[in-house]
Amino acid sequence: MDFRHILNSKKIFLRVILGVLFTLTTCKTFAIQEEKAPVEAKNAEQEAFNPTTAILEHIADSHYWHLWGETSIPLPVILFTDKGTEFFYASEFHHGHEAHQGKYYTYKLIEDKIRVVNAEGAVDKEASSHIYDFSITKNVVALWIAGILLFIIFFSVAAAYKKTVGKAPRGLQSLIEPVIMFVRDEIARPNIGYRYQRYMPILLTIFFFIWINNLMGLIPIFPGGANVTGNILLTFVMAFIVLIVVNFSANKYYWKHIFMPPVPVWLYPIMIPVELIGVISRPFALMIRLYANISAGHIIVLSLISLIFIFKTLWIAPVSIIFVLFMDVLELLVAFLQAFIFTMLTALFIGTAVEEHHH
């Protein structure tokens, strides 16, 4: 009876929330429509909303961290040029409207990429090819934030283990421990075998790093919102580390399987390249999978939000919000799932590399 009561109250609660939401949004719609009708017409003439550019801008890395409206944090720009190192803030670019006269060249932000421009303001391709952009971009900062969060969480958990030796976990520790046990018992042990302990640190780091970055990416405001794991460069770095770990922990059976596969010798010219491609393609698949999944999630959410701007009406907002809410919940699952799959496949590759064959 109690149970049913709770269910009912939840339903009622949900209805009330939705009701309030609808009334608020509709009221607002009227208000804004009345106010902005003339302005909107003017804006529409000025520049049509292009969802593709807007979305790609949002999921791309940037030299600014956009907060709200016209406010954004300019991030430090570090350039390694053939003449020396340049250091200044991205605010110098004024969102790409102005060129910055540095120590060695004049730089301009074109599509959020730094290019050298000559006196007339045209791009100097030859000089640009000597510039290496090592700026602390939005994704780098997001990485650091995620890293600091991981430090804080796991240092405190490790401290809790020191404090409660041999006792039941408590607090954050009891939240984290099942996940660690999950990585150990469901990912590492079944795939790697008895040597799993050596690979636990890398697997746990990969798992929690991807997971926390995925989750941070779902938060639409400041400390989150960066599309870190949906950045193919980051997934490339992670996949490359996996490639190195797998191939450096590989035993002779693994290499024998690649260079002396159990097939007739005349098939070797085909088999060896295939096996070598396999070595590369497995981490490559990891890279693409994570990047595509997370980017897709971000793109869908942004597309749903863009509907409001495409239709130029707030009437569509409730629909957008409901779908975005649905997608965000789905993305919560995907965030965990992708972290799990990446770690799982890493463990699987390590497992095949360290497996003992007894022919």
Partner 1 sequence: MEQLFEGLLNDHLGFVVWAAVAFLILLFLLAKFAWNPIMSAITERERSIEDALLKAEAAKEEMARLTNENEQLLKDARAERDLILREARHLKDQIVNEAKSVANVEGARMIENARLEINSLKAVAMADVKNQVATLSVEIAEKILRKQFADQHAQDELVADLLKEVKIK
* CB atoms closer than 10 angstroms to residue 76: 15
The answer to whether 144 contacts partner 1 (rule: CB under 8 A) is: yes
Q: Residues 217 to 246: which contact partner 1 by CB under 8 A?
A: 231, 233-234, 236-238, 240-241
The answer to whether 149 contacts partner 1 (rule: CB under 8 A) is: no
Among residues 64, 102, 135, 291, the one that binds partner 1 under rule CB under 8 A: 135
Among residues 21, 78, 296, 310, the one that binds partner 1 under rule CB under 8 A: 78
Q: How far apart are CA 356 and CA 358, in angstroms?
A: 7
Among residues 24, 181, 285, 329, the one that binds partner 1 under rule CB under 8 A: 181
The answer to whether 162 contacts partner 1 (rule: CB under 8 A) is: yes
Among residues 117, 157, 215, 216, the one that binds partner 1 under rule CB under 8 A: 157
The answer to whether 197 contacts partner 1 (rule: CB under 8 A) is: yes
Structure tokens, 239: 């996949």
Least gap, CB of 28 to partner 1 (angstroms): 39
The answer to whether 133 contacts partner 1 (rule: CB under 8 A) is: yes
The smaller minimum CB distance to partner 1, of residues 32 and 233, is found at: 233
Q: How far apart are CA 293 and CA 140, in angstroms?
A: 20
Q: Which segment (85-93, 123-131, 291-299, 300-308) binds partner 1 by CB under 8 A?
A: 123-131
The smaller minimum CB distance to partner 1, of residues 10 and 163, is found at: 163
Question: Around 285, how many Cα atoms within 13 Å sit in the side-chain half-sphere?
Answer: 11
Kind and range of the H or E run holding 89 = strand 85-89
CB neighbour class for 21 (10 Å; exposed up to 12, middle 13-18, buried from 19) = middle
Least gap, CB of 161 to partner 1 (angstroms): 4
The answer to whether 113 contacts partner 1 (rule: CB under 8 A) is: yes
Torsion angle in degrees (nearest 10) through CA of 324, 296, 137, 79: -150
b/e sequence 193-203, b meaning 16+ C-beta within 10 Å: eeebeebbebb
* 46 Cβ neighbours under 8 A, 6+ residues apart: none
* CB atoms closer than 10 angstroms to residue 225: 19
Q: How far apart are CA 298 and CA 133, in angstroms?
A: 25
The answer to whether 186 contacts partner 1 (rule: CB under 8 A) is: no
CA-based nearest residue to 70, from 94, 46, 36, 41 = 94
Any bridge partners for residue 110, and if so which? 113
Least gap, CB of 69 to partner 1 (angstroms): 27
Q: Residues 201 to 220: which contact partner 1 by CB under 8 A?
A: 201-202, 204-205, 209
* CB atoms closer than 10 angstroms to residue 353: 20
Least gap, CB of 143 to partner 1 (angstroms): 5
* 234 Cβ neighbours under 8 A, 6+ residues apart: 139, 143, 213, 228
Among residues 151, 259, 311, 326, the one that binds partner 1 under rule CB under 8 A: 151
The count of chain residues that interact with partner 1, using the rule CB under 8 A, is 48
Q: Residues 246 to 305: which contact partner 1 by CB under 8 A?
A: none
Q: Which residues bind partner 1 (CB under 8 A)?
A: 61, 78, 80, 113-114, 128-129, 131-137, 139-140, 143-144, 147, 150-151, 154-155, 157-158, 161-162, 165-166, 177, 180-181, 184, 197, 200-202, 204-205, 209, 231, 233-234, 236-238, 240-241
